[in-house]
A and B are shown apart, each in its own frame.
Chain A
Amino acid sequence: NAGVTQTPKFQVLKTGQSMTLQCAQDMNHNSMYWYRQDPGMGLRLIYYSASEGTTDKGEVPNGYNVSRLNKREFSLRLESAAPSQTSVYFCASSEFGAGELFFGEGSRLTVL
């Protein structure tokens, strides 16, 4: 049972490039989340999806878009990467809204 899987684990981009972080969960959870973690800032919510077909903004949504492709998959897209988006990104899922969270291993993104 893989749990929550994120790809890629590491990525280096140049300013202005675009990329998509992929997340998939195999626990049949309804809710999925994207967080970013910066030193001294804890985890900040970017976007979340309470159920298939719905998405909503979190604390720091600017510069990001998301797609809830199906119940299993929730992707995060950076259309035009900026150095301020250098961070570690975590995907998480829960059985229902605000239930117990399960995290992926994280994706380290560097924007030069």
Chain B
Amino acid sequence: GIQVEQSPPDLILQEGANSTLRCNFSDSVNNLQWFHQNPWGQLINLFYIPSGTKQNGRLSATTVATERYSLLYISSSQTTDSGVYFCAVERVSRDDKIIFGKGTRLHILP
């Protein structure tokens, strides 16, 4: 099956810093999604981004499908950005299986 690797696994930053999270995948994909899991366990959609670049406030994401990676940028981090960030992909085979990476745990210090 498709492999989804996220890096770094853990990241500790001071409030106000910028960060880049990476998602590599081993096969061609139809879509890619980024999620944030907050400290209370809720999973929130951030981006649905099979290709190209999208921005939402301080967050932006870029997927380069031909090179099999996606990047999530967080600028001017706030303590509320803490939590785990997951990317999830579905292979071009369209078997409808959405597979997750193991996540990047982000801790923003006040």
Contacts and interface: CB of A to CB of B under 8 A. Distances in A.
A88 interface: yes
B11 interface: no
Contacts of B35: 101, 103
A100 B32 CA distance: 9
B100 A43 contact: yes
Band of interface residues on B:
20 to 34
Band of interface residues on A:
20 to 34
Contacts of B43: 90, 92, 103, 106
Nearest to A51: B96
B75 interface: no
Contact of B88 (A50, A101, A105): A101
A106 B35 CA distance: 15
Contact of A48 (B33, B94, B97): B97
Contact of B102 (A41, A45, A100): A41
A98 B41 contact: no
A41 B99 CA distance: 12
Interface string A44-82: 110010100000101100000000000000000000000
Contacts of A105: 41-42
Interface of B: 1, 30-31, 33, 35, 41-43, 45, 48, 86, 88, 90, 94-103
9 contacts: A31-B96, A40-B102, A45-B100, A90-B43, A97-B90, A98-B30, A98-B90, A100-B45, A101-B88
